[in-house]
Each structure stands twice: as C-alpha cells, then as structure tokens.
Structure 1
Amino acid sequence: MLRLKNAVIYDPTNNKDGVKEDIWIENGKIAAEPKPEVVKELKAADDLEEIDLNGKIVMAGGVDIHSHIAGPKVNSGRVLRPEDHRRDNVARKGKLRSGVGSTVPSSYVTGYRYSLMGYTTVMEAAGPPMKAKHIHEEFGDLPYIDKGFLVLSGNNYFVLKFISENNQQALKDYLAWLINVTGAFGLKVVNPGGVEAWKEGKRMRGIDEKGTHFDLSPKEILLALAKAADDLELPHPIHLHTNDLGSAGNYKTAINTMKLLEDYRLHITHVQFSSYGKNEDSKIKFAMATDEIAAEINRQSKLTVDIGQLVFGEATTMTADGILEYNLHKLSGNKWVNTDVEMETGSGIVPMNYKKKNLVNDIQWATGMELFLKIEDPWKVFLTTDHPNAGPFTAYPWIIKLLMDKNYRKDYISDLNDKFDEYTDLSSLDREYSLSEIAVISRSGPAKALGLKNKGHLGVGADADITIYNNIEDNDIAEVFAHPAYVFKSGKMIVKAGELLDNLEIGKTLVTKPEYDQNIIELIREDFQKYYSISIDNYPVTDHYYDKIEVIPCVTKE
C-alpha cells in the first residue's frame, strides 16, 4: 500500500478545494484510509510505502477529451512534415525510446509528453472505421496513457442510407455494431452531410440545405445521430465538429445546431473554430461572436464544449472535413493532403503557422480565450488545442497560466497586432481561473463528459492516476503545470522531479460495447460486398490488435 502524506487536494468531483489530507493507494486504485491498527500492521510488515508531499498540489491525472494522436491521418501528417521532425529530436534514454516531432510527435514521444505534463487519459478524436486496425496498432505504441477513439459516422454511407429510409432502429443497430467491430469508444460527427456533398463537388451551408446523394440536410442527420447515441446510452454523446467550421459568420450555424439538439446530450468540439462573426465593414471581414456563443452555452443544460485554443507558432491542421482543408490550402498556399476513405469519410491535412501580428490569427486566439472567460460554468468547457490543429497539446501549461493570471494575459496582448483591441473584448476581462476550476477543465469535467466514472477524481475506487504539482505561490504557473513533481499511473510512479522513469508500460484502451440486433449484419452485407474494397468478414478489429482493454458500460441514466 502507498500513502501520499500531506497532500493539498483539488478534486472538484468530491468538493475538495485545497483540502489537506492523505491519499491511500492499493492495487492501482484510490483506497479508503485504513484503521490505525491496520496501518501499524502494514508498517511492521514493511508493506507500507510513504511519500511526504509537504503541501504540494494534488489533482487527478489529466484527461484530454479531444486530441489527434493515432491513426492514418496522424501518420500522414508525420510524413507530410519532415521539417517538423528535424526541429525536435528526442534521444533514447534507458528503456525510453527515441523519437521526433513538434506538432505531430511520433507515438512514443506523444505518450511521454502527455505523461510529463501529468495527463493520463487521452481521447483520439476521429478515426475512420476502415482504418481502425491502424489506430489500435498505434495505440500499442503509446506508452503510459489510457486512450480510446471516436469513430467517424456523420458521412457514412449506411448512416445516411438508414436516415434517408427513416429507419431509426437500423441506424441504432448499425452504429452499435460499428462501435463494437472497430473497438471504438463513441461517435464522432464531422460536418454532417457536408463531407459527403464535397465528394461530389458540392458545398452545403448551414444545417438546412440539402446536398448529399441521399438528399439529406445536416439537420436530419444530426437529429437521428443524437437520438441514436442517447438511445444506446453511450457514455459520451455525439462529439460534433459543426458545419461551416472555420468560416466567417459560422457562429449562426453553431447556435442553430445547439438549439436543434437542446433536448439531447451534445458535445461540440473545438468550439473556437465555430464562433466567428462576419464584419462586412472591416478590411478583413472577420470578427468574433463569443458573446452569442457563450450566452447559448450558458443557457443550455446538456451541452458541453471544448475550446480548441489557438497557439501561436507551428501547427498541423488535420480533419475529416475535407472541404475545410481544401479552403486552407487555397488560402495559405501550403502543401496539402486530401483523402477519400471509401464509404465512410474524407480527410485533409495542411500545415499552418499562426502569427502574433496576424490580426485574423489574433482574433482566433482571443476567441478561445474569451470563451474560456465568458462561459460561466467550468463543467461545460474543457481545455484542448484540438492537437495539432490549433497548436500542440504541450501548450496546455501556457494556456493555464493565461487563464489564471490576468496581468500576464494583458501583458501578452501587448505583443499582438496594434488593432487587437478594436476587434476583441479580451483586454477588459478580469476573470482569473482558480486551481479548482483548472482541475475541472483539465480532468474532472472531461472525465464526466466522457462518462469515465473512475477518472478525473480522487475518490475511493477511482483509478490511482494522480498528478502532484509544486506550489504556484513560489513558482511560475506554466512551469508548475509543465513539470509536475510526481505523476502516478494506476498507482505506479512514472514521473519524478519532472523526469520520466523508465518503467515503461502501455496503458489501457477504453472501449464501449453497446448491444445491437445481429440481423444488422445481413441487412448491410449486400451493399458492403458491392461497394467496399474489402469483405465484411475482414472488417472487424480482432482481439490480437488489443493489448489491455477496459469496457466502459453503456449506462447514462441513474
């Protein structure tokens, strides 16, 4: 048994805001405090290890609800960016492998860098079903962290077919089958209908316009998918990349979508990219709409978002939203990858460099920051950079400092474009996040939104994923969150004094297994054999692709 003595605990799930007490760990879980006589026996048998934290900050391990860390899109991003590798090399050390990567690190380096920041669970946000085997193979090379992936479903042939036939039961069974055979955790929806239309050279705007082969609008697709996710009682609702993402004036589409799905659970991802206004009177025609977006999020009760905070410097945009990447390629002139994944989805990749003096980039950066500060309930908003789209996940400590220190934030603004204050409200916002609020947006909130009841908190029975930080009064905030004093994964120390220990282990893969009618396989078999390049019998991810898995129950109702 392990005892962490004199911990100052920030655990919002259990209403602990700077509470000083001990943490007990046994068999990889948080344990109840033993009785004094049991402690005495453990000490006598030399079965109790104790670490005195001397008042250090203790939180649950970080949980990243949205990142791109594995799969064909990420691997193509690595191939596309040799310059990304050249500027960031990682040498082999002990049992720790070498690697490369700045915005798109190699697999092992990704696991190392998340762990070094105290993150212990990460969700890969978009996986094509047909490429699921690749994702699981790469998961086997992601050390320490637990992970899962969201399977792309918003432009899938069978999804659109069943919706067009008004066959909600078949849709539900198909989605459950898809999650099972791909080893996915939940459903990702990207520009629903828009990617399918783009494959035919069409452009759909808003959520009412029809343009797919099946003559469906995004509105119809969204309603059917949201209902299916709720009926299946998936731990996490549909994880939505909204239509018109990245376009000036797109906030109207985002708000219409929020209102459309108000009766369902919903998570909107990288909402910063969905919160832009349009100013025809300005030279850049670009504006922010944070007041409108924040007001709608504040009003709703079943909606959560993550930000996708922009980070100045190099980034690699990658998304299933092929038309967005085509537009970025035409706008920037940068190299471009475009892919059509048969019956399922699209994809695109374009490198970007966000610049401090570029007014549009400044507005994007301010949009994310303002949403963090204007959304009133931290349980509704989570810390992400949509890694590596808006910037690398390694920027989280810097973003935390911006949120906790208004003076630093205002000083930083002075380095941006001279017209910054004409287009944004950020300089006038004085809100500062507390340590408890940081704990919410970086672990407790994402864990709750994902339905991970054993993650994101330090209650008895929780996974012993624990991050221990030095005191912020004596240290720079960004340095504190970049270099934890200790990190424990499943009760084992993996980081000490800001350095990875070489007790290398691969974490668990998180999956769900919703129930479905087996007849769905025969219902899709004919079209599958007719249109796919592979057999339906070779489609499922077989057991040998998994190392360690944990099945998260499909129960959302108390």
Structure 2
Amino acid sequence: MLTRIAGGRVVDPVSGRDGKADLWIQDERIVEKPVQAVADQVIDARGCVVMAGGIDVHSHIAGGNVTLARLLLPELHVSETAGDPALPFSTARWSAFETGRLYARMGYTTVIEPALAPSAALATHLELDDIPLIDRGALSVLGNDDQLLSLLRRKEGSQAVRDLTALTLATSRGLGVKVINAGGAAAFKQNVRAFGLDDEVPSYGLTSRQILLALLEATTAIGVPHPLHVHCNNLGLPGAVDTLVATMKAAEGRPVHFAHAQFYSYGRHESGGIVSAAAEVCGALAANPNVTIDVGQVVFGQTCTISLDILRQFSSRKAGRPRKWILVDGDAEGGGIVPYRYRRNSDINALQFAIGLELFLLSPDPWRVLLTTDHPNGGPFTAYPRLIHLLMDKAERDRTLASLPEIVRERSGLAAIEREYTLTEVAVMTRAAPARLLGLVDRGHLKPGARADVAVYREDADRTAMFASAELVLKDGVVVVRKGEPLGWRAGRTLTLAPESDPAMRRHADHYLEERFGAGLESFAVPLEAFGERNVFEVEPCLT
C-alpha cells in the first residue's frame, strides 16, 4: 500500500529537514517520492508537525517488580481502559494494554524495559508481549550475580566474562546489558549498607569499578550496539555527583550510558542537604564525549519507585508514602518497591525537579541527553508532554518556578537559564538520539528505508496539549492512533540480540545452575513455543 502524508511540517534532524514536505510510505517503509505514482491513501497533514515515532530508552514497563508494584498499589489505577481479558497480564491495574495505549497516543512507537532479570526472563517477555501498539526491548542485568562474580574472583579472564555475557544476552533475549550498582546487591546480602565505586564486595574481593570495567570490555568485544547501561553507586545521596563523574572517567573513553542522571546530580550544601550539581555533570559530559545520559526527570505527584538496587531501596523504605513497601532479596539483584509522593512544597523534591530541567537546558549536546522520568521512579512517562513544554517555553518554566519553594532559586541555576528547546532538538532527544544509542538504524528518522513509524501532531502553542495527544500515529505504515485514541489492539515486536554463545560456557552455566538451583540453563531460557504461533521477536545485528 502506498501512503502519502501531505502538507505537514516534517521535522527530521537525521536528514536535516524542518519544513513543509510530503512523506511517502510503501507498506512498512518510508520511500522516496515515486515517479508518476498515485497514493492509495492520502493523509492531510496541513497545520501539523510530522516526526518519527518516539523512542524511550529507559522505562520500567514489565517484569516481576512491576507486577508487584501493581499489586501493592491497586488504588492508583482505578479509572484506566481495560485490556483484553484473554491476555494474562492485561487486567492488572496499569495493565500492559494501558501501557501501550498511553505511549501510542503520545506518538511513541518503541520502548525499552531497562531491567531484565535473567532469572525471570520468560515472565518479563510474556508481559512485554502483552503490550500492544508499540515495539519493545529489554536490557539484561549483570553485575551482582554469583556466576559472574565468581568468574572474576577466580581470574578466569576477559574471554570467560565475554562468553558468559553473550550467553546471558542470548538466553534472556536482551537488547543490551545493564549493570545496577555493580556489586552493591551482592554486598547488601553481606550486611553492607553503603557501597562506593572502589569498595570491595565481601567474600569476592572485587570492587564495583572492577565489575563495571569487566562488563564494559565484554559488551564491546561482543559488539553490543547499545553501550553498557549503568546505574551508578550512591543514587540519591548528597555528593553523588562525585560518583557519577568518577564512573565517567573510569570508562576511559569507551562508550557508556548513565541512567537517570538527575538522581546523581547532587552536590553537598554547606548547611546540609543537596545543591544542584547539574552544571558539573554537563561539564563532565562536555569533557567525555563517549558518555550519554538519560535524565530521570522528577515530576510532582504520587508514584512508586521500582528498582533492582536493593541497597538503595532498603535505605528508602521508611520514606515510603503510603507506608507500605516490598523488598525481595532474591538471586543477584533482588529488588525493592517503595511508593513515593513527590511534593511541590518539599524543598528536596522541588530541587530534584529543578535539577533535572537544568541537565536538559545546560546540556552541551542534545544527542547525548535523553528524555526519561525513569518511569515510574521519577514519575510516570505520561509527564513527557508537560516536560517538553517546560523545555520549549521559558515563560512557562518561570510560572512553574514561581510556585516552588525559595530554596530552588538558592540552590539551583534554573531561573537564570534562557534556553528554549526547538522542535528539532525535541526530535533529537526523543527520536533520533535514542535510536542511534540503541543501534536501531531504521528508527528515529524519516529517511527512505526507515521503518514507517510516524507521529503527526497538530501544531499548538500549548506544547503539553500538542504532545499529549497525537493527531495521527502510524506503526509500520498502519494508522494505529487517530486524534489521540488507539484504533484497536495491534501486536508489536520485541527487539533482541542473538550473539553466538560458546558451547563450553553453555556447559559450564548449565552445570552451575543445576548445582545452585536444581534446574539447568534451559529452565531460564525464553523458548519461542511459549508464545504460540505469534512471531514475537525481531533480532537486531551486533556490531562487527
């Protein structure tokens, strides 16, 4: 089918376009304007902005901890659209169906779950498969598991670490690798309650730095397109900026991505508490062009923090609102679910809000600072339209800032920043840059050959309204959203890597798992048979 999107303002930073133009789609792909062709379908986009579909690199949308959070807080999701009762996860509050619907109506077409626990990979992928309208992927978590730490303790060498990492990616069907407070969860199990970059994990004799560098080397050797995705030590603490900057330097020029950097952009104020260190972080970004970050912007309101950083969640449990929480001391990371309410009149929460915006606005390069809320940890992903509005409109920021405690003006530089994002910069941080970071060469742009994932927005000075409800969204060339409303249930795909795994490492891992759990490697695999006749997975190539 040949489709013409006619008369819109096409904003595509990859091709350098920002102007009125037609966009042509042949079936699932964007194409050059055909010679003497008549479109089967013409979409009138006059008065609209046309962008590639949005891509979110870090949003907790599936997995055991997400499910536990839904069970812990059913009262938060009493008015959502119900999903198909025949699907196993679609009737839980904030269901899989609701996740896909809310992303699609904002013009997003690809979302990455950043914490795929290899021990629970099948359950996570089954839930991801229930999310309609969008494509998904997940990052396999390593860095606290006994199998990896034992290899490092025995000094078995970089090839063994590479082989185990490749096997983990292949078995769990991950799109990349994430490390969460490297060694921190393992140290927590031995009664450690604070863990820095150069602290040792008891009984392993390994520092967080050593674990991190081993995984950096392994992912590079395998050719994982997405740089190692790092959740640093000391999240949320005064002075956490020191850890973030030290970890940037530890990468020694190798590509690395830091998650939810806002929660590390805190200096120590002389009178106690935190002060914005956003300028210092952006200075470190300028000095380390190998580094990318996503922000993890805080937004005001009730949410629930979900993390495999059990050490941090244990420390935060008493601040939970409402006063209920879950900690899971499981294999490797375990996890924690702590409800939290970000309050506008709270000095700390207001500062967190301001610091996140500073990171965006002081950024030396919009290609390396990406929009996330670390959903749901900083707040829901549905806040993206409002955040885009604040970044694009200085007057709107000033009105918001005027409603916040005075400490925000004393301990952050947000009020003095004049910068306003352009639509091109918005397209960079929400489309082009995430696609490039993930190695998804046919997404995030509108050049011929790209996947026909397209978002059409009615031009509106109220950017919140504009980006909250897309006029039209096409997924693989098919209209799936019209005037902000999904047109039905449509299956997406789950993006994975499939690196070759060493047979000797397979045998080693199978024996290890049998000894530790009484179940071998196949018990932790994600078999295609679990998904019936559905063609769920799409394999992305590794770098060569």
TM-score normalized with structure 1 length? 0.93
- Cα 1:461–1:231 change in 2 (3 A) is same
Q: Secondary structure at the match of 1:5?
A: strand
Residue in structure 1 matched with residue 9 of structure 2 by the alignment: 8
Residue in structure 1 matched with residue 367 of structure 2 by the alignment: 379
Q: CA deviation at 1:175?
A: 0.8
Task: Letter of the 2:276 partner, please give it.
Answer: M
Alignment of 1:487-498 (within 5 A): 487-498=473-484
Choose which of 165, 175, 198 in structure 2 pairs with 1:175. Answer: 165
Q: CA deviation at 1:527?
A: 2.5
- Cα 1:28–1:212 change in 2 (3 A) is farther
Task: Letter of the 2:435 partner, please give it.
Answer: A
Counterpart check, 1:267 vs 2:257: yes
Counterpart check, 1:161 vs 2:150: yes
Counterpart check, 1:105 vs 2:94: yes
Deviates further, 333-342 or 492-501: 333-342
Counterpart check, 1:150 vs 2:139: yes
Task: Letter of the 1:105 partner, please give it.
Answer: W
Q: Secondary structure at the match of 2:77?
A: helix
Q: CA deviation at 1:314?
A: 0.8
Alignment of 1:319-334 (within 5 A): 319-332=307-320, 334=323
Counterpart check, 1:409 vs 2:397: yes
Task: Letter of the 1:147 partner, please give it.
Answer: R
Cα RMSD (Å) of the superposition? 1.9
Residue in structure 2 matched with residue 64 of structure 1 by the alignment: 56
Separation in 2, partners of 1:175, 1:484? 40
Separation in 1, partners of 2:85, 2:192? 53
Residue in structure 2 matched with residue 230 of structure 1 by the alignment: 220
Q: Secondary structure at the match of 1:197?
A: helix
Counterpart check, 1:127 vs 2:116: yes
Counterpart check, 1:75 vs 2:35: no
Separation in 1, partners of 2:486, 2:212? 43
Task: Letter of the 1:534 partner, please give it.
Answer: A
- Cα 1:144–1:358 change in 2 (3 A) is same
Is the Cα–Cα contact under 8 Å of residues 235 and 552 in structure 1 kept in the other structure? Answer: no
Separation in 1, partners of 2:519, 2:328? 18
Q: Secondary structure at the match of 1:304?
A: strand
Separation in 2, partners of 1:25, 1:55? 20
Q: CA deviation at 1:537?
A: 2.9
Task: Letter of the 2:10 partner, please give it.
Answer: I
Residue in structure 2 matched with residue 295 of structure 1 by the alignment: 283
Q: CA deviation at 1:144?
A: 0.8
Q: CA deviation at 1:536?
A: 2.4
Choose which of 396, 400, 407 in structure 1 pairs with 2:384. Answer: 396
Separation in 1, partners of 2:312, 2:511? 33
Separation in 1, partners of 2:258, 2:474? 30
- Cα 1:213–1:97 change in 2 (3 A) is closer
Is the Cα–Cα contact under 8 Å of residues 10 and 21 in structure 2 kept in the other structure? Answer: yes
Is the Cα–Cα contact under 8 Å of residues 25 and 464 in structure 1 kept in the other structure? Answer: yes
Q: CA deviation at 1:491?
A: 0.3
Is the Cα–Cα contact under 8 Å of residues 277 and 288 in structure 1 kept in the other structure? Answer: yes
Residue in structure 1 matched with residue 183 of structure 2 by the alignment: 193
Q: CA deviation at 1:550?
A: 1.1
Q: CA deviation at 1:196?
A: 0.6
Alignment of 1:197-276 (within 5 A): 197-276=187-266
Separation in 1, partners of 2:279, 2:21? 40
Residue in structure 1 matched with residue 490 of structure 2 by the alignment: 505
Residue in structure 2 matched with residue 54 of structure 1 by the alignment: 46
- Cα 1:549–1:97 change in 2 (3 A) is closer
Q: CA deviation at 1:140?
A: 2.0
Percentage of matched positions with identical amino acids: 37
Task: Letter of the 2:108 partner, please give it.
Answer: Y
Residue in structure 1 matched with residue 329 of structure 2 by the alignment: 340
Alignment of 1:330-479 (within 5 A): 330-332=318-320, 334-342=323-331, 344-472=332-460, 475-479=461-465
Residue in structure 2 matched with residue 23 of structure 1 by the alignment: 23
Is the Cα–Cα contact under 8 Å of residues 30 and 450 in structure 2 kept in the other structure? Answer: yes
Q: Secondary structure at the match of 2:379?
A: coil
Separation in 2, partners of 1:439, 1:424? 27
Counterpart check, 1:541 vs 2:520: no
Task: Letter of the 2:49 partner, please give it.
Answer: I
Choose which of 511, 514, 521 in structure 1 pairs with 2:506. Answer: 521
Q: Secondary structure at the match of 2:420?
A: coil
Deviates further, 138-147 or 515-524: 515-524
- Cα 1:250–1:113 change in 2 (3 A) is same
Q: CA deviation at 1:95?
A: 12
Q: CA deviation at 1:523?
A: 2.1
Task: Letter of the 2:463 partner, please give it.
Answer: I
Separation in 2, partners of 1:184, 1:96? 23
- Unaligned stretches of 5+ residues in structure 1: none
Separation in 2, partners of 1:271, 1:461? 34
Q: CA deviation at 1:93?
A: 10
Q: CA deviation at 1:137?
A: 0.9
Q: CA deviation at 1:100?
A: 7.4
